[in-house]
Amino acid sequence: MPKSLKTVFYTLNICLLNICLAFTSCATREPTDTDAITMALELSGIYVKNQDFDNALAVIDRALLLSDDTRLYQNKILILKETERYEEALEVSIDAYRKNPYVERMLRNAIELATILDREETIKGLYEHMFAINAITADDLVFIIKEAKERNDSVSIEFLINYGLRWQLYNKEFFDLAYEATKNEDYRIAAKYIK
């Protein structure tokens, strides 16, 4: 598609969404937060597609004034990560988690961003908070360790192994992962005695 035609299409999409926003606010039925959130997500998506990240963030920020919907936070975090604004993305993740403490994805975003920024104490604090409000099993801990392993996050792995040992949240797979991460023979031996 020629650049000028692409620009026209882009501008028309934005105009149509703005018109929809205006009609929604004047509709005979009361517009819902969901209508505004959906339109904001669509409009920010168009901006992102066209690499206009500042306007995408502005749309999300306006929508966040109406609602603390986690989809808005998630999109804002993704846009900030895309533009390598990790500090700001970490702040947004933590803020989103404070407002929606039972949406674990927000906490996982914060942990991932703290890992990117090499914030060891922040990582540990986030995990401690996560474990304080969620009943966690050995299987849950193994899953979280595997996630940290995928991110090559040695700080989290060490913390999680120590946490599992302290609270006796372990099984054979936990000890196998602990051995693989540390090469400590004690973990290999313990794995043999766990069913």
CA-derived radius of gyration, the chain: 22
- pLDDT in the model for residue 185: 93
Q: Residue 4 and residue 2: Cα distance in Å, rounded?
A: 6
- pLDDT in the model for residue 28: 44
DSSP string, 103-161: -HHHHHHHHHHHHHTT-HHHHHHHHHHHHHHS---HHHHHHHHHHHHHTT-HHHHHHHH
Look at the block and give the residue holding tokens 């026209």. Answer: 8
Q: Residue 138 and residue 153: Cα distance in Å, rounded?
A: 19
Residues belonging to the chain: 195
Q: Which residues of the chain have pLDDT under 50?
A: 1, 26-29, 31
- pLDDT in the model for residue 48: 94
pTM recorded for the entire structure:
0.75
Q: Residue 72 and residue 58: Cα distance in Å, rounded?
A: 11
Q: Residue 123 and residue 144: Cα distance in Å, rounded?
A: 13
Q: Give the pLDDT confidence of 39-72 residue by residue, as tens digits.
A: 999 999 999 999 999 999 999 999 999 888 999 9
Give yes or no for a contact between 75 and 83, defined as CB atoms under 8 angstroms apart: no
For residue 16, give both structure tokens: 């149509």
- pLDDT in the model for residue 17: 61
Which distant-in-sequence residues (6+ apart) come within 8 Å of 183 by Cβ? none
